[in-house]
């Protein structure tokens, strides 16, 4: 049995403040146009649920589920497990992510959406981890830049555990 330590690095209060800040940025950006929000399951569920009520020109929302991780390691490949069901053709799409890490999942989702003739694809992520990026992609909106830690909480998981934590935590593995 593996034992873990959790160290909180971002509190629920800090997340709440950042959501208000991000909603202002997004509302200013989409001041003259509308968009469809696409949340990346399962990790972005909490973040998206808190962010959406503050967004003004969002036509509707849906979800996509993509996977590129097994445990705490990326496989280097993306699999789409759930496709959005709303019509995306000629629409601006705001992808809402929990974390932008290697960029493998984000670039895979972007390619998938562009093949569906969307107008533009933008990314909003709660956490940005540029030190691990292996694909050239940057978020249009991000909450917190973090170092090279494996983090859980607020929707982020390790083998489906810790999603329910209200803050963001570094997951440390004990020997």
| pTM as predicted | 0.92
Hey, which residues are catalytic here? 101
**Nearest residue to 78 via CA among 60, 61, 103:** 103
Neighbours of 122 (CB within 10 A): 18
pLDDT in single tens digits along all 175 residues of the chain: 568 899 999 999 999 999 999 999 999 999 999 999 999 999 999 999 999 999 999 999 999 998 776 666 666 678 899 999 999 999 999 999 999 999 999 999 999 999 999 999 999 999 999 999 999 999 999 999 999 999 999 999 998 999 999 999 999 988 6
DSSP assignment of 41-86 equals ETTTHHHHHHHGGG-SSEEEEEEEEEEEEETTEEEEEEEEEE---S
Task: Name the nearest CA neighbour of 49 among 15, 87, 84.
Answer: 15
Which domains can be identified in the chain, with CATH numbers? 11-147 (3.40.50.2020)
What are the structure tokens assigned to 66, written together? 């993509």
């Amino acid at each position: 049995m593996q034992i873990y330590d959790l160290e909180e690095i971002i509190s629920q209060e800090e997340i709440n403040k950042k959501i208000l800040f991000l909603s202002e940025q997004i509302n200013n950006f989409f001041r003259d146009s509308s968009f469809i929000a696409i949340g990346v399951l399962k990790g972005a569920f909490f973040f998206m649920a808190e962010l959406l009520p503050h967004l003004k020109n969002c036509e509707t929302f849906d979800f996509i589920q993509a996977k590129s991780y097994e445990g705490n390691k990326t496989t280097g490949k993306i699999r789409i497990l759930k496709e959005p069901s709303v019509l995306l053709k000629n629409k601006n799409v705001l992808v809402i992510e929990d974390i932008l890490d290697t960029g493998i999942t984000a670039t895979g989702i972007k390619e998938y959406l562009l093949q569906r003739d969307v107008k533009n694809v933008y990314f909003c992520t709660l956490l940005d981890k540029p030190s691990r990026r292996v694909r050239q992609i940057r978020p249009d909106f991000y909450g917190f830049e973090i170092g090279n830690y494996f983090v859980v909480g607020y929707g982020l998981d390790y083998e489906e555990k810790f999603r329910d934590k209200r803050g963001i935590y570094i997951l440390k593995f004990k020997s």
